[in-house]
């Protein structure tokens, strides 16, 4: 596995925001998709908790700051193009604002 630093990440490609997939490192469940800017990614690396940029509220936020469902980040992985992120987290609480474990709980018919 190659090591990347924050300066290697391509924030310009998507106007400063990167998609972040959040996955439970033990169960491999996909918990959510959110977005991070440079500050959110730096905060995640610094604090060990998942930080994002809220596109609806237009602000930085730490997962669980309101719900208490904090997501400790075990590892941050960067895709091959350095423009998408995967947070491997330890999470036994709901990730979705609806109270579901995963945001991906609806089936398209």
- At 71 the pLDDT is 95
Q: Can you give the pTM of this predicted structure?
A: 0.91
Check whether 72 has a pLDDT greater than 90.
yes
Q: Taking residues 42-54, what's their average pLDDT?
A: 96
Q: Taking residues 61-82, what's their average pLDDT?
A: 92
Per-residue b/e over 26-43, b at no fewer than 16 CB within 10 Å?
A: eeeeebbebbbbeebbeb
**What domains sit in the chain, N to C, each tagged with a CATH number?**
6-89 (3.10.20.810)
- At 48 the pLDDT is 97
How distant is the alpha carbon of residue 23 from its chain centre? 8
Look at residues 5, 12, 100 and name the one whose alpha carbon lies nearest to residue 45. Answer: 5
Annotated binding site: 79-81, 83, 96, 103
Q: Taking residues 65-72, what's their average pLDDT?
A: 91
Annotated binding site for Mg(2+): 79, 81, 83
Strands 18-24 and 30-36: antiparallel
Annotated binding site for Zn(2+): 80, 96, 103
């Amino acid at each position: 596995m190659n090591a990347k630093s924050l300066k290697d990440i391509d924030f310009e490609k998507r106007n400063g925001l990167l998609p972040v997939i959040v996955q439970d490192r033990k169960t491999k469940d996909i918990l959510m998709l959110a977005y991070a800017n440079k500050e959110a990614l730096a905060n995640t690396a610094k604090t060990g908790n998942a930080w994002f940029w809220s596109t609806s509220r237009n602000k930085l936020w730490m997962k669980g700051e309101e719900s208490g469902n904090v997501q400790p980040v075990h590892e941050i992985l960067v895709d091959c193009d350095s423009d998408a992120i995967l947070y491997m987290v330890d999470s036994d609480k709901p990730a979705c604002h609806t109270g579901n474990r995963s945001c991906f709980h609806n089936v398209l018919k």
